A = this chain, B = another copy of it.
């Protein structure tokens, strides 16, 4: 396969954007990424767009063509554009399809984007739409939504490993600490362990500050064959590994609900492809849809021993300047979580860090970074490893 590099990136602001439409958001991200790569639309061979539920959130399917159209790439250029969906892992999988297409040699310059417009519906409708990422016939139909499912994971993690509410909260506190330095972040306020513990209980033991928010946003990257990436930018970032894995849709079918086997296997596949291990990674963006998800993720990817994710986080090992900085962007918790966009935004955070352009959240000397994007309660996981050196 051909090696692949990222040559351009762009996020919109993440947040409640009632004055902007679904299509406004994704066009801003796409056009911004094209500009960042210094190319024009005619250079693009294909587009892949991650979106979980345009149908339920904005009554619009056929998202790929919509985006090509509103980006001015459909009418005369007729650029192929394909939507990819795997719930909250849609963005990560759009990136993976883009990698496939460049690796195959069928395409050279490719856009991989993600978008979600979630605030145009009442929050009960948003919860219901998101619950469609769980097993509707075994979970959703019983009234289970994601805070409840992740609360069960958290309760079991506490039971098996002695993880505490304070340790969970420390993940949110760190992510807000990082988010204040990210211009696109939905929340730029600092919080404390006390404010997390005193916030409303959503699904015991998860408080509302343990939960990522409902967000509007879009993100896009431009991919190119590694061989010609330097023609477009002085700082191409190389894709060294990609791994994807599935697991049962319903949580109750898993062998162990405190381990997301899909994360473990996707990580393993990405590490093998990159010929690397956790010790080679300088920073990682993990899928912290809830604080417990970050704790599980750093264990499942090999950055903490099983059961010690909470302790490691509480002790500051995952802060900027710590042993392995986690979610320098602010993560889903503080940066926001437009579900289709998140996987692409994670890649952009790593690109900005490896380019040395992350400002006050810069990880010194970062050379290799990882992203970890999860769908639902772990039925899909996709992991990518990036390097500033080929």
Decide if B85 touches A245 in the complex (CB within 8 Å).
no
CB distance from A223 to the nearest CB of B (A): 13
Residues of B within 8 A of A68 (CB): 246
Residues of B within 8 A of A247 (CB): 65, 69, 74-75, 78
CB distance from A176 to the nearest CB of B (A): 29
Decide if A84 touches B83 in the complex (CB within 8 Å).
yes
Does A218 belong to the interface (CB within 8 Å)? Answer: no
With contacts A62-B375, A62-B376 taken as known, whether A78 is within 8 angstroms of B1 at the C-beta atoms is no
Does A193 belong to the interface (CB within 8 Å)? Answer: no
- Give the nearest-CB partner of A264 in chain B: B78
Decide if B58 touches A55 in the complex (CB within 8 Å).
no
Q: What 0/1 pattern do residues 56 to 89 of A give for CB contact below 8 A with B?
A: 1011111111101100011100111111111100
Q: How many copies does the complex hold?
A: 2
Q: What 0/1 pattern do residues 352 to 390 of A give for CB contact below 8 A with B?
A: 000000000000000000000001100110100000000
**A interface list, Cβ under 8 A from B:** 1-2, 21, 23, 46, 52-56, 58-66, 68-69, 73-75, 78-87, 93, 96-97, 100-101, 103-106, 129, 132-137, 140, 242, 244-250, 253-255, 261-262, 265-266, 375-376, 379-380, 382
Decide if A55 touches B253 in the complex (CB within 8 Å).
no
CA distance A140 to B248 in the complex (A): 36
Residues of B within 8 A of A80 (CB): 244-246, 382
Residues of B within 8 A of A266 (CB): 78
Decide if B85 touches A132 in the complex (CB within 8 Å).
no
- Give the nearest-CB partner of A2 in chain B: B104
Residues of B within 8 A of A265 (CB): 78
Residues of B within 8 A of A46 (CB): 244
The 9 closest A-B pairs by CB, nearest first: A65-B379, A80-B244, A104-B104, A103-B104, A68-B246, A78-B245, A62-B87, A74-B246, A61-B132
CA distance A290 to B31 in the complex (A): 36
